[in-house]
Amino acid sequence: MDEDDEERHHSGGSGGGIVGLIIVGLLCWWGYNHFLKPDKWMGMYEATVQTAVGVGPTFDNKEACVTWINEQKQNPGQRFNFECGSNCTAPKTEIGPWRCDETADTL
């Protein structure tokens, strides 16, 4: 064994460092997405005669989303049910349900 082989043998080779770095990176990404990532609120509306949901703008907080809903309700002729949802996932089908971490209706 020459000096380079002996050094690689004692240091564990270069593969161990890369795998460890990938694991640390994945843990950081997971932690950010589950604990630090700010919520995104989305305004949604549903016509009273349809089952499809329309999507409005996104907001940084629930209060801004609720304000948007209240503004929309002031428009004459609006016949929609409105709702806000945080961190929503689109349905897999056209009429499937939206999945949100939290929702807020207004009266």
pLDDT digits (tens, 9 = 90+) for 63-83: 999 898 888 888 777 667 888
Output b/e per residue, 18-48; b: 16+ Cβ within 10 A: eeeeeeeeeeeeeeeeeeeeeeebbbbbeee
- Distances in whole angstroms, Cα of residue 46 to Cα of each of 52, 84, 93: 6, 12, 16
Neighbours of 67 (CB within 10 A): 15
Tally of residues, the chain: 107
Residue 27 above 60 pLDDT? yes
In this prediction, residues 80-92 reach a mean pLDDT of: 86
* pTM to 2 decimal places: 0.57
Sheet holding 41-47, edge to edge: 53-59, 41-47, 80-86, 102-105
Please tell me the predicted confidence (pLDDT) of residue 43: 85
Q: Which of 107, 56, 65 is nearest to 86 (CA)?
A: 65
Residue 33 above 70 pLDDT? no
